[in-house]
Amino acid sequence: MGDRIFRRYFAAAMLFALLAAQGEARPYREMFPGRTDFSEAEKPLLEKLNFQQGTIKLPEAKATLNVPANFYYLSPADTKTVLVDIWGNPPAAADGMLGMIFPTKYAPTDPESWGSIVEYSADGYVSDSDAATTNYDELLQNIKDSISERNPEREKQGFPKITLVGWASAPHYDKPAHAMHWARDLIFGNDTQTEHTLNYSVRVFGREGVFEFDFVAGLGQLKEIEGVIPTVTKLVQFDKGMAYGDYVDGDKIAAYGMAGMIAAGAGAKIAAKVGLLALALAFFKKAGILVVVLAGGALRFAKGLFTRNKTPTA
């Protein structure tokens, strides 16, 4: 009898430890204590979300996110609620996401909020040999040309024209962290006076693939996001043997390097210009979906689609 009771308590303790290892989930009232400014339209959406912090295991990526006290994590299901129900993107925009991270100073419904989509691409080991030799100004011009060439087709499909103004932050490779980050200054639509959109990308490299963080914000929030980039590059802890430094001869090699990864969002034509014809079509399909998400983010800022006197999609 005593042994059976012991096993029962041991199993309960193990279950508790497992749940704790998945991060601490909180309702929005605990995540944002003291806030009384949420509208009646926002509250039902926020009640759907579980705000998680701590250790978030992501088996698909063979890694863990260690989410600190100044951030929170949302699951893939909660991410879909944010992208589709709150930010107004089409449902396909949420496909394949591992979640989102936000700074704790913002709720997803706040007009000034910004967050990062979290994804993982199991494309193989990405060589960093071209990180120091790539001419990023030349790469920028190639990307600008490609975006401009694709705008007529984009507008035919009902999406706004995209103008790449330039680097908001030039590509930088953090070699000790095995992380690349860069930011683009974008305008959506034909009105050049509209608020610029910031697309800040962080890539953290592992032995078998790349962790992807893509921030959607207003350009005026650049300094705020730059301040958290050192934290973001340290969020990922790959499983034992899966870190970038664990690479061994014979491992799968990605079909692109650093320049190709940055250019990929602009389409296959750019990849060809930088000598990366081997890039898979699926990679570009994924990048195209990100443009949809970015469009939603831009419209939030530029047209005020989610202001306090607006009713979110239920």
Q: Quickly state the pLDDT bin for 278 (edges 50, 70, 90).
A: very low
Q: Residue 302: is its pLDDT beyond 80?
A: no
Query: What is the rounded CA–CA span in Å between residue 8 and residue 244?
Result: 40
Q: Residue 266: is its pLDDT beyond 90?
A: no
Query: What is the rounded CA–CA span in Å between residue 97 and residue 93?
Result: 9
Point out the least confidently predicted range of 104-108, 186-190, 253-257, 292-296. Answer: 292-296
The fraction of the chain above a pLDDT of 70, given in percent, is 76
More confident residue, 287 or 55: 55
Q: What is the DSSP string of the chain?
A: -HHHHHHHHHHHHHHHHHHHHT-EEE-HHHHSTT-----TTHHHHHHT--EEEEEEEEGGGTEEEEE-TTEEEE-HHHHHIIIIIIT---GGGGTT--EEEEETT--TTSTT--EEEEEEE---BPP-TTTTT--HHHHHHHHHHHHHHHHHHHHHTTPPPEEEEEEEEEEEEETTTTEEEEEEEEEESS-TTSPPEEEEEEEEEBSS-EEEEEEEEEGGGHHHHHTTHHHHTTSEEEPTT-BGGG--TTS-B-S--HHHHHHGGG-HHHHHHTT-TT--HHHHHHHHHHHHHHHHHHHHHHH-TT-TTSPPP-
The fraction of the chain above a pLDDT of 90, given in percent, is 52
More confident residue, 276 or 88: 88
pLDDT of residue 264: 75
More confident residue, 35 or 12: 35
Give the list of residues 6+ apart from residue 91 with CB closer than 8 angstroms, or none: 80, 84
Mean pLDDT (whole number) for 285-305? 40
Dmax (CA) for the chain in angstroms is 76
pLDDT of residue 275: 38
- pTM (predicted TM-score): 0.79
Q: Residue 286: is its pLDDT beyond 60?
A: no
Q: Quickly state the pLDDT bin for 265 (edges 50, 70, 90).
A: low
With tokens 């909020």, the residue in question is: 113
pLDDT of residue 27: 93
pLDDT of residue 161: 85
- The predicted-structure confidence for 121-145, as pLDDT tens digits, reads as follows 999 999 999 998 999 999 999 888 8
- The predicted-structure confidence for 142-170, as pLDDT tens digits, reads as follows 888 888 888 888 788 887 888 899 999 99
Q: Quickly state the pLDDT bin for 227 (edges 50, 70, 90).
A: very high
Query: What is the rounded CA–CA span in Å between residue 169 and residue 161?
Result: 22
